[in-house]
Amino acid sequence: MKFGHFDDRNREYVIETPHTPLPWINYLGTDDFHSLISNTCGGYSFYKDAKLRRITRYRYNNVPRDVSGRFYYINDKGTIWNIGYLPTKTDLDSYECRHGLSYTSFHSSKNGLDAKLTCFVPLKDNCEVNLVSLTNTSAKSKTFTFYAAVEFCLYNAVDDANNYQRNLNLAEVEIDDHTVYHKTEYRERRNHYAFFYGSVAHDGFDTDRNVFLGLENGWDAPEAVTKGISFNSVVHDYYPMACHRYDITLKPGETKNLIFVLGYVENNPDEKWEAKNVINKTKAQAMQKRYSTLAGVTAALKDLKDYWDALLDKFVVKTGDEKFDRMANIWNQYQCMVTYMMSRSASYYETGTGRGMGFRDSCQDLLGFVHLIPDKAKERIIDIASIQFEDGSTYHQYQPLDKKGNADIGSGFNDDPLWLVGATMAYIRETGDTSILDIPTPFNNVKGSEKPLYDHLMISLMHTINNKGPHGLPLIGRADWNDCLNLNCFSTKDGESFQTVENNDTHVAESVFIAGMFVLYGSDFVELANYIGKKEDAKLIEKEVKAIEEATVKSGFDYDGGYFIRAYDAYSHEVGSSKCEEGKIFIEPQGFCTLAGIGKDKGLGKKAIDASFKYLLDDWGCELLYPPYSTYHVELGEISSYPQGVKENGAVFNHNNPWLTMACCVEKEPERAFQLYRLNAPAYIEDKSDIHKTEPYVYSQMIAGRFSKSYGQAKNSWLTGSATWSFVALSEGIMGIRPQLTGLEIDPCLPKEMTDVTMERTFRGCHFHIHVSNKPGNKATIIVNGKEQASKIVTLVKGIKDYDVSVTMA
Ligand code: GLC
Ligand code: GLC
């Protein structure tokens, strides 16, 4: 069952009912100011950091769900409704919500009043703009009251939800007839405030939530709104909010536009005040002015759309498969950009108060946006490398506001350093800019400790080399990519963090997955080192790659089961092999080791793919492991703490399915690659939205597996590495467009139904127009600007900006 439809021309998903199985959200903002917005107008805003600069309040785990947000009420002779349906839940005569690229719009109506609302964060300002248009579609004149309201958060979202003894005494605002300024704590140590502005002078206002709602009411029935009045309350403690009231009369056919701006302003410490206790509003007023007219708002919205058009023009495919094109050209790239901006910080499932930026997650996210915003990718790589230690290990996370490593989590995830090599390679291959390797980059952010980024890559690899276990395979440490495979944790106390507790690290537990990573990224590094003339380093790493590859072929493959083993635990027992009672096979090494080409000459990759399809495949993709653990295994950790078929214990973890898709491409199995790609790609499963439940336009972290009672139900949408890796599988695997050091490789792996494919790709400032004629067979003829060439890699020629490439497969 569907709850809406895609509108590809406008790059929107159109939600046709407020009754979606879960709130279906979108993200507004492209730089520092961000908002989350659901299809019922819920959500919240923050500046840069969802924990430390929360502007509006949101209540997670609330009942009823999702009632914090932007509140636009209409009281039409006692019928009270919201443009976005919640919080009043009044049935609407019509409802539509369109989630577009960084904007969301609503269109609803009730009793002859038509309401439109468009919400976006402009490119250049720290604010969310909401444009409201109200039209009287009835035959008679209409008089009603309109309310626009937001609830402020006291900036630090954790303190806001904890420290009531202090923060219920702080609230301060200033008010004029257009704007409420929220200045709590501004008089002492904060140099910033928020405001809520209305383009038309209001007829009444409220700023005290207790007064506005009335003591016993919720947001579904504020006393001011139900009475059709305002109390003109001035908050001085408890809960600050902003509400503007308008008494409106519209003639038949008449429209009234109102613009609201939720803004954030920082002032220099010596320019904070206009007069004693009166905040300096210069910047705020300049911002308000820019959005005070319809023309200003329309122009800003157009700029935003132009920005997205320009970005997405860099990679466009036309395959004849509408759903594939929709994912490729719109939604998958969009989700990659959102994960770039949010990391794992703020979603409807990540509260924005916990994880900062993850080392591993951020390195992988980068693979999905480096072609769109390479400069930002460069910056990100340096930020990430700066939390590394001199022995190559690294903090697992950092806070975006100060960029310092997070000491609470610390280090010890042995996959982390290798992701840095992968991310840097992707950047250099995309841009050709090897100068990034020379950038002096500190360790643990300590001034004076800087070494060229190149050295960071080298020590990342050395870290694996220096930390091998009894089988010559890399030690796993606290965990590798699979955060829940905690082989040194041995946790028996409730509340202990599986990620940080190590009760039994004997330096024995090994990871075959990290072996796959080392072989893949180590080989990449060898190519890079040779390319820039560091022959000695190349030789050294090449030798080590060989050693780990041999160790994997010898001890990392289950020759009875016919697939890669997952790990060795602290007793050197196999994990994820046919010898195990449960958890006999894991997906991660099948994908990654095949991708790395380990044992290719012996056909190990082919076998691993066969086994994955045999044991792991369900209706939604390949499950993470099979069969799931039914009891707690102290020697395995968190993975066995989840119900069977859920999360890492045997769900389809969308993040690692693309590794297998890509592995299928490496092994030249286009049909299987496409089969797997389609199973979890949002556009292909839209009509199962009632089962899948999360948004049908983005990936979620997981989809419950066969052993779960909620088989097919997805969880944790938006902020997941699934976005990036699915895009990499789509663009580099199936479409076969792979940036290489020397040029752009074109090596498609297309299913037979894609007979004619065109692609537009911007690469190092040049434009590639690629046409592929796909007939059965594996031989490709490549013609570049009229000349046939033997290599699949198209090298750039000085002075030539346009490349017309025709590939004929036969
Ligand atoms: C989550 C984490 C990611 C980890 C994955 C598997 O998605 O963000 O770092 O690799 O789970 O455990
Ligand atoms: C839990 C989750 C995992 C996540 C980790 C870190 O272990 O299962 O997906 O990566 O927490 O937050």
Q: Which of 125, 220, 480, 483 is catalytic?
A: 483
Note the pLDDT of residue 169: 96
Q: Which residues of the chain have pLDDT under 50?
A: none
By alpha-carbon position, which residue is closest to atom 12 of ligand 2? Answer: 355
Amino acid at 620: W
Note the pLDDT of residue 184: 97
Note the pLDDT of residue 400: 81
Indicate if ligand 1 lies below 6 Å from the C-beta of 482: yes
Note the pLDDT of residue 459: 98
CA of 413, nearest ligand number? 1
- Told to judge if 66 belongs to the known catalytic residues of this protein, a careful annotator would answer no
By alpha-carbon position, which residue is closest to atom 8 of ligand 1? Answer: 361
Residues touching ligand 2 (Cβ under 6 Å) are 355, 483-484, 499, 638, 647-648
pLDDT tens-digit readout, 24-55: 999 999 999 999 999 999 999 999 999 999 99
Exposed/middle/buried for 582, CB within 10 Å: 0-12, 13-18, 19+? middle
ω into residue 64 within 30 of 0, thus cis? yes
Indicate if ligand 1 lies below 6 Å from the C-beta of 716: no
Residue 358 near residue 414, CB atoms below 8 Å: no
Q: Which of 648, 653, 701 to mutate to test the pocket of ligand 2 (most atoms within 8 A of CB)?
A: 648
Indicate if ligand 1 lies below 6 Å from the C-beta of 483: yes
State the average pLDDT for the chain: 97
d(C-alpha 14, C-alpha 3), whole Å = 9
Spacing, Cα 433 to ligand 1 middle (Å): 30
Note the pLDDT of residue 780: 85
pLDDT tens-digit readout, 563-582: 999 999 999 999 999 999 99
Ligand 1 atom, smallest distance to 483 CA: 12
Q: Which of 361, 514, 656 to mutate to test the pocket of ligand 1 (most atoms within 8 A of CB)?
A: 361
Indicate if ligand 1 lies below 6 Å from the C-beta of 701: yes
CA 752-753-756 angle, 5° bins: 95
Residue 751 near residue 730, CB atoms below 8 Å: no
Spacing, Cα 644 to ligand 1 middle (Å): 18
Note the pLDDT of residue 809: 86
Q: What is the DSSP string of 152-195?
A: EEEE-HHHHTT-HHHHTT---EEE-SSEEEE-TTTTTT--EEEE
Ligand 1 atom, smallest distance to 701 CA: 7
CA 233 centroid distance within chain: 40
Spacing, Cα 12 to ligand 1 middle (Å): 29
CA 176-179-182 angle, 5° bins: 100
Category of 238 on φ-ψ map: left (φ > 0), alpha (ψ -120 to 50) or beta: left
Instruction: Report the candidate in 721, 722, 768 with the shortest Cα–Cα distance to residue 745.
Output: 768
Note the pLDDT of residue 125: 98
